[in-house]
Amino acid sequence: MRERIAGGNGKMKVRQNLKEMITSVEPTATVLDIKALFHKAYPKWYPARQSLRLDPKAKCLRDEEVLQTLPVGTTASFYFSDLGPQLTWGTVFLTECAGPLIIYLMFYFRLPFIYSPKYDFTSSKHWVVHLACICHSFHYIKRILETLFVHRISHGTMPLRNIFKNCGYYWCTAAWMAYYINHPLYTTPYYGQQQVNIGLYIFLFCQVGNFSIHVALRNLKSPGSKTKKIPYPTKNPFTWIFWLVSCPNYTYELGSWIGFTVMTQCVPVAFFTLVAFIQMSVWAKGKHRSYLKEFRDYPTLRSSILPFIL
């Protein structure tokens, strides 16, 4: 099979005949093999930076796709575009999580130049403020540890520019929440300790549930495998929600922030929870549609993120 690489999408007008390097390609070769050959000719464009399509308007070909399974003849044209500098998803996740953890603690310890000088390095008199710091720190430490030891990220990289957008959002909202929760004039929840306890129980329950789902998803496939499977409940009761929703990790994540909102009774936290719900709903609906498209026997009772609702 002889291959031609053509520039596409109006980004990079690259049209090079690789006959000197690709005299023949085995039908069992993968898209990643083609990217590797292209990288050998043009070191600037490493495989993760390349996007190859059979048509300028088609989806990017996956690295694991085999040439003989593609809808082409003995000659194929690949449309190439440069995705730009890439970062691993793990690096992005760690940066996203480390920022809010550090920023929140800066406000909690009331470092200078945040509040009035007389409050520098002072401590709040309200127990809920200290509890909120523990919960917030626990959440992001948990996410960091999950990124390092639990998650098996199927997507290798993302564009470098995304880290500024993602981190800007998480870091700024963390600072906004922390400013008000740790403010010297912060007032405790209206219903007192009872409201704090209810919020704490919801938060802890959903944190355990979220972790349980991540472990279940990790165990769904072996290391290095790209085979997709339908997630089902396990013996762990926290995973039984799989009977009702496709993305219970987002359901539990939403529940955690609802609990944190109830516990702190803070408007910025409520706003963050609302925005997070909207974004996670978009991700969950996309994942749900993907499941329905890939698996004919996918359970019809499941919703995307909220049982019987959404």
Tell me the pLDDT tens digit for each residue of 14-44.
444 444 445 566 767 777 777 787 777 777 7
Q: What value does the mean pLDDT take over residues 243-271?
A: 97
Place of tokens 């702190």: 264
* pTM of the shown model: 0.81
Q: Out of 5-9, 94-98, 267-271, give the one with best mean pLDDT.
A: 267-271
| CATH architecture for segment(s) 2-84 | Roll (3.10)
From the centroid of its chain, how far is CA 78? 29
pLDDT band at 12 (very low <50, low <70, confident <90, very high): very low
Mean pLDDT, residues 67-94: 75
Query: Which residue's entry shows tokens 């790209």?
Result: 226
DSSP assignment letter at 21: T
- Domain boundaries, given as residue ranges, for the chain: 2-84, 87-294
At residue 184, the pLDDT reads: 96
Kindly give the residue spans of alpha helices, DSSP state H, lying in 89-160. 89-108, 127-149
pLDDT band, very low/low/confident/very high, at 159 (cuts 50, 70, 90): confident
Residue 55, judged by CB atoms within 10 A of its CB (0-12, 13-18, 19+), counts as exposed
| 44 sits in which H/E element | none
pLDDT band of 3, cuts 50, 70, 90: very low
- Torsions phi, psi for 60 (to 5 deg): -65, 140
Which run of H or E residues covers position 245?
none
Pick 287 or 32 by higher pLDDT: 287
Which letter, b or e, does each residue of 69-95 get, where b requires 16 or more Cβ atoms within 10 Å of its Cβ? eeeeeeebebbbbebeebbebeebbee
117: number of Cβ within 10 Å: 7
Say if residue 145's pLDDT is above 90: yes
Residues 6+ apart with CB under 8 A from 216: 231, 234, 236, 239, 242
Predicted confidence (pLDDT) per residue in 81-133, tens digit: 777 777 777 788 888 999 999 999 999 999 999 999 999 999 999 999 999 99
pLDDT given at position 13 = 44
> Percent of the chain having pLDDT more than 90?
57
CA distance 43 to 294: 35
253 pLDDT more than 80? yes
**64 pLDDT more than 60:** yes
pLDDT of residue 2: 41
Between these two residues, 102 and 161, which has the higher pLDDT value?
102
Lowest mean pLDDT among 13-27, 39-53, 147-161, 166-180: 13-27
Q: What is the pLDDT of residue 91?
A: 81
Rounded distance, CA 140 to CA 135, Å?
9
Looking at residue 240, its pLDDT comes to: 96
Q: How far from 116 is each of 51, 111, 113, 183, CA to CA, in Å?
A: 52, 10, 7, 10
Buried b (16+ CB within 10 A) or exposed e, 191-216: eeeebbeebbebbeebbebbbbbbbb
Helices (H) and strands (E) in the chain, counts: 7, 6
Instruction: Provide CB contacts within 8 A for 206, sequence distance 6+.
Output: 252, 253, 254, 255, 256, 258, 259
* Residue 8: pLDDT over 90: no
232/88: higher pLDDT: 232
Q: What's the whole-number average pLDDT of the chain?
A: 85
Number of neighbouring beta carbons within 10 Å of residue 7: 16
